[in-house]
Every structure is written in structure tokens, then in C-alpha cells.
Structure 1
Amino acid sequence: MKKIILMTIACLLLFSTQAFAHTGLESSNPAQGSTIIEAVNEITLTYMTKIEETSSFKLVNASDESMDVTNLSVNDNVMTGTVETNLKNGPYKIVWKIVGIDGHPIEGEVDFVLNAPIVEEVKEDTATETVEEPEVTEEEPVVEETTSAEVEEDKGSNTGLIIAIVVVLAAAVWFMTRRKNK
């Protein structure tokens, strides 16, 4: 009987971390660690569960200056905002703060690099026309540390947990009734 109780407790403790996990960032546009080669007009953050209307984010540059983001909206598990300013090339960070459906506040960051081609004005010469190609340089991908939101990105459902609990409980009942019959 003691073994059954210990096994049941061990299984519950083993699987309990998955059951109590908070919502996390499922995807983002721009994506984490990406290098963007065109202007950023809209930011979209998609979460694993529904988020509250009080959730928000801000866009900051390498100098930790906030960029203008307007039309911030939350629809179910998606938060979007419009970037109003023309961003200069360089590293940026989306700093988000959400309230999950369970009421817990969660924070995270999405880092990306903007490396859009610089469009130079073309000077027209009546004798000959020359068009200069914008210079595009490739940058090494930035290796970022894994944030806690990425660790929580387990997209599986709780079906496995429920099945495991039912199996453990059924085994416990079977052992108890078997022992009483002897």
C-alpha cells in the first residue's frame, strides 16, 4: 500500500510542472534572433493561450530608446502594433508584458536585427543614366540566450498528463482491491 501511495505521489510531482506552466510566446513577427531585410511596419506576437486586454509591448533600439508603436490591439492570443517611424538599421528588442488567462503577469523579449537596404536617391543625368545598386551586407546570425518564454513553448496538450494520472489511479485501485481480496 505504501508503494502505491509513493508511486502516485511521485507521478503527480513528476507531471505537475507541465500542468502548472504559464502561457508563453508561441511565435512572433519579426521572429526571435532574425535579421529583417525590409522595413518593419507591424509587429505581431502570438501566444500559446488567450491573453488579457491589459497586455502590452514596446519596441526599443540598441540605446534603449522607445520607438513609436501605435494601434496596439489584443485579439484572443494575438497582440499587434503598428510601427510609425522609419527604423534605422541595427538591433532592436520587443519587450512584452502580458497577463495570461490564469491571471499571472509574464514578461519576455524578442530580439531582432534590421538590415534593410539603404535606398539612395538616383541622380538623373541627361547624357547617361546610372543607377547605383544599394549595398547589402550579410551579418552573422546573432546567437541569443534562450528566454524563459521559449523554454515554456511546449505546444503539447495536457492529454498525456491526464492519461498518466488515470492509469496511475486505476493501478492503485486495482492493487488495493486485489490486496483486500487476499
Structure 2
Amino acid sequence: MKRKYSLFLIIFSLFFISIHVVSVEAHSSLINASPGEDAVLDNPTNEIELSFNTKIENGSTLFLTTDTSEKVEPASIQINDTMLLATFSQDLSPGTYTVNWEVLGADGHIIQNNYSFTVKGSEESVQPESKQDKQAASKSTEIETNTSSSEKPTTLIYGIISLFAIAGIALLAWVWFGRNKK
């Protein structure tokens, strides 16, 4: 009877440890962006707003790259709980931009990803040569974006590994306690 109680206690403890491991892996993920992924903006703007599922910390940042691979830095970044607001000194010129973001989640993990959007312009538009003229952002209706494909599987993998570990330990305990039953 003492062996069955020990086996039950081991399995019960491992179960609760695995639940804790899986819940700790809930990293910050992007839930809304303005402008959103693959958005086409008719009117230029000078702001990009990103919303996350958890609180983000100071030190979180973003920058843009143009379709000619030029880097565009925001004039300021404000962080308010789960939101990051990047403001640029001028409106974006017509073209395609990639938003490269990196946030420090409340759990201490750094998560980074990117997405693209386009600012419409006339065919005759010429992009200014100075960096300052190229800085800007666009604001559109909030468009929901998908979570980074590298974020969710991590939690799932840890969960599966934990379940296999529990099953393996339970099997070993059953074999061990079963042999000593003679």
C-alpha cells in the first residue's frame, strides 16, 4: 500500500510541475497592429501602434525598413501597458515598409517579429533623399495580425515533452514497484 501511495504522489507532483512549466511559457504576442499586416494605406501617417496580449516593458522598440532596405527610426516610442506607439517626425513617403518590432515581455523574454504594409502614392511620386524625409508611419483601421509562428509551438512542444516525461516516469515507477512486489 505504501508503494502505491508513493507512486501516486510522484505522478501527482509531476503533473502539477508540468502544468506550471507550460503556463510560464506564455510569451507576449502581437494581437493588433495599426497599420496591419499587408495593409494598403491611401493616406500617409506618422504613427505605428502595436498591441500585445501581455504587458510589455521599457526597452521595447521598433524600426522600419523600406523596399530599398533603408532603415527608418521613429522620433519617439511610447509604451503604455500592452501598447507600443512609435511616432515618426514626418509622414511616410509612398512605398512598402517592413515593421521590425522587438518587445521585452513582463516575463523577461524578448520576442521579435516583423510584417509589411504599403503606403499608396502616385506613379510620379519621388521619394525624398534625406533620412528624415523618409521617416514616417501609417495609420489605418486596426487589422488583427497572426501570432508569430515561432511563439506558439514553443509552449506546445514543452507541454508534449512534459507529458512524455510524466508518462515515462510513471512507467518506470510502475515497473520498479511492480518488480519489488514479489
Q: TM-score range by the shorter chain?
A: 0.5 to 0.7
Q: C-alpha separation between the residues in 2 aligned to 1:75 and 1:83?
A: 18
- The one-letter code of the counterpart of 1:59 is L
Which aligned segments of 4 or more residues in structure 1 are displaced greater than 6 angstroms?
A: none
1:25 aligns with 2:26: no
Q: Which residue of the partner structure matches residue 135 of structure 1?
A: none
Q: Which residue of the partner structure matches residue 91 of structure 1?
A: 96
Alpha carbons of 1:98 and 1:16: their partners in 2 closer, same or farther (altered >3 Å)?
same
> Is contact 1:57–1:95 with CA below 8 Å preserved after alignment?
yes
Q: Which residue of the partner structure matches residue 148 of structure 2?
A: 147
Task: State the secondary structure of the residue aligned to 1:148.
Answer: coil
Q: C-alpha separation between the residues in 2 aligned to 1:115 and 1:150?
A: 32
Q: Which residue of the partner structure matches residue 35 of structure 1?
A: 40
Q: Which residue of the partner structure matches residue 63 of structure 2?
A: 58
> Is contact 1:89–1:115 with CA below 8 Å preserved after alignment?
yes
Q: C-alpha separation between the residues in 1 aligned to 2:69 and 2:124?
A: 26
Q: Which residue of the partner structure matches residue 110 of structure 1?
A: 115
1:45 positional shift = 0.8
- RMSD of equivalent CA atoms: 3.3
Identical pairs, percent: 25
- The one-letter code of the counterpart of 2:46 is N
Q: Which residue of the partner structure matches residue 100 of structure 1?
A: 105
Task: Between 96-105 and 2-11, report the one with greater CA deviation.
Answer: 2-11
Identify the structure with bigger relative contact order (alpha carbons < 8 Å, sequence gap 6+): 2
1:148 positional shift = 3.0
1:78 positional shift = 0.8
Q: C-alpha separation between the residues in 2 aligned to 1:145 and 1:24?
A: 9
Alpha carbons of 1:60 and 1:8: their partners in 2 closer, same or farther (altered >3 Å)?
same
1:81 aligns with 2:82: no
Gaps of 5+ in 1: 121-143, 153-182
Paired residues, number: 130
Gaps of 5+ in 2: 126-144, 154-182
Task: State the secondary structure of the residue aligned to 2:79.
Answer: strand
